């Protein structure tokens, strides 16, 4: 199928580009389904489920990894903070007293 791009208007080219991008996304999704199906079959041949081999990550919703704790509350070691996001009250108290370094883990 030879397309004469030089004879197409700018709007036609933009539409062609959008059509191509849509088709590429559709095919990638289709290929992913096929690859997942084939991977499941291969795992089953060896007596495993794909989830067992991948640690449970077989294409569902991706979970957001939690950060590693950088600070531990000296008065309640069960409370930690990664150093990201909203500061817990105990962090604010230590910081205002100039003692936040005491809470650093490691």
Tokens standing for 13?
């080219």
Give the Cα separation of 9 and 15 in Å (integer): 10
Give the Cα separation of 41 and 33 in Å (integer): 12
pTM of the shown model: 0.47
What residues does each domain of the chain span?
8-54, 71-103
Give the Cα separation of 58 and 37 in Å (integer): 10
pLDDT confidence of residue 64: 65
pLDDT confidence of residue 91: 93
Confidence band of 54 (pLDDT split at 50, 70, 90): confident
User: CB under 8 Å to 91, separation ≥6 — which residues?
Assistant: 71, 81, 100, 103
Confidence band of 37 (pLDDT split at 50, 70, 90): very high
Give the Cα separation of 83 and 94 in Å (integer): 13
């Amino acid at each position: 199928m030879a397309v004469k791009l030089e004879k197409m208007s700018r709007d036609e080219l933009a539409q062609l580009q959008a059509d191509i991008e849509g088709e590429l996304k559709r095919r990638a999704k289709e290929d992913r389904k096929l690859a997942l199906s084939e991977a499941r079959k291969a795992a089953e041949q060896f007596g495993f489920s794909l989830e067992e081999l991948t640690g449970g990550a077989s294409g569902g919703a991706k979970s957001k990894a939690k950060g590693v704790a950088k600070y531990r509350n000296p008065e309640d070691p069960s409370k930690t903070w990664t150093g990201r996001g909203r500061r817990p009250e105990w962090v604010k108290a230590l910081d205002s007293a100039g003692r936040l370094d005491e809470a650093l883990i490691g």
